């Protein structure tokens, strides 16, 4: 048996007479369980172009829904190449359509903004929705 200081910040400090090996093992087990229950959120990216056709759009939207249902955030990027930069309103309309498509499973965490040659928005899962 060992004398173990349990709460050193308390006034007066709290000590117990216990088996230190067993105490250390249980504390390690508790920390491992807390780490296991921690939820890790991953940022997945979906890339589109302003001239993306409807089938490709639907395909990528389905993938985004799967990512969100798994609990991940989704970054939707519309990439502009060459002369496409002159038609940024097409990319903005596409991004808004994508956000509307995922409206029932995701909320907009970051509004669409132009950054370099890409327009981006970040969608996060809605808290109350059931995950797979």
pLDDT digits (tens, 9 = 90+) for 1-26: 889 888 889 899 999 999 989 989 99
pLDDT of residue 38: 78
Q: How many CA atoms does the CB half-sphere of 14 hold within 13 Å?
A: 5
CA angle (7 as vertex; 6, 11 as ends), nearest 5: 135
Confidence of residue 35 (pLDDT cuts 50, 70, 90): confident
Position 105 pLDDT exceeds 80: yes
Give the CATH architecture of domain 43-125.
2-Layer Sandwich (3.30)
User: 131 pLDDT exceeds 70?
Assistant: no
Q: What is the mean pLDDT of residues 32-59?
A: 89
Across all residues in the chain, what is the average pLDDT? 90
pLDDT band at 129 (very low <50, low <70, confident <90, very high): low
In the chain, where the domains are located: 2-37, 43-125
Flag whether pLDDT at 128 surpasses 80.
Answer: no
Whether the predicted pLDDT of 39 surpasses 80: no
- Long-range pairs for 111-118: beta carbons < 8 A, 24 or more residues apart: 114/88, 117/79, 117/80, 117/81, 117/85, 118/77, 118/78, 118/79, 118/80
């Amino acid at each position: 048996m060992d004398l173990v200081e349990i709460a050193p910040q308390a006034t007066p400090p709290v000590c117990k007479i216990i088996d230190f090996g067993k105490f250390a093992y249980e504390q390690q087990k508790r920390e491992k369980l807390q780490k296991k229950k921690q939820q890790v959120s991953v940022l997945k990216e979906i890339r589109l172009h302003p001239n993306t056709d409807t089938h490709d759009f639907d395909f990528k939207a389905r993938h985004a829904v799967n990512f969100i249902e798994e609990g991940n955030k989704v970054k939707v990027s519309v990439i502009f190449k060459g002369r496409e930069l002159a038609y940024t309103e097409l990319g903005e309309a596409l991004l808004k359509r994508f956000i509307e498509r995922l409206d029932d499973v995701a909320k907009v965490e970051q509004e669409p903004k132009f950054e370099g040659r890409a327009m981006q928005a970040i969608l996060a899962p809605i808290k109350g929705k059931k995950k797979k």
